[in-house]
Amino acid sequence: MSNFQLDSRLTADTFLVGSFELCEVRLMDDIRWPWLVLVPKVANLAEIHDASSSQQEKIAFETALVAEALKKHTNCEKINSAAIGNIVRQLHIHVIARNEGDANWPGPVWGFGERQPYDGGTKEKLIIELQRALASSADFTF
């Protein structure tokens, strides 16, 4: 995990929620969807299959913990998880709460409309709520 540096685009588009042993958990700055991003704290990691076996297991485990917490917190109908990386090559896993009738249901969230940033109070409240939801998870710190 030494030499890990978060891609500047992820820094610009997300807010830190907390961290697991392997992955940072970040909130995407788009109020249209409750949208978290996990970023493994491993230098130069672009693909899940490039990670070691133990890292792959950790990524899957931590992603599942985030998905479960986000589903419980939002009471959403569906969780979408994806590691696309066409623009930002650094491995990051999107975990997005979706509901029928949301901003682009049933289409994907990527490339739809204009991003709607959080205002400070709404963002801070959501981050605190998400930290509480994840606090019971193994190794989560904030």
Range 47-67 average pLDDT: 97
For 8-110, which CATH class? alpha beta
Average pLDDT taken over every residue of the chain: 95
CA separation for the pair 44, 131 (Å, rounded)? 27
Q: Where are the domains of the chain?
A: 8-110
In this structure, the chain runs to a length of 142
Range 42-53 average pLDDT: 97
CA separation for the pair 128, 122 (Å, rounded)? 10
* Global confidence as pTM: 0.95
Q: Does the pLDDT of residue 1 top 60, yes or no?
A: no
Assigned token pair, 71 = 């589903």
pLDDT band at 11 (very low <50, low <70, confident <90, very high): very high
CB atoms within 10 A of CB 27: 19
Range 5-30 average pLDDT: 97
What proportion of the chain, given as a percentage, has pLDDT over 70?
A: 99
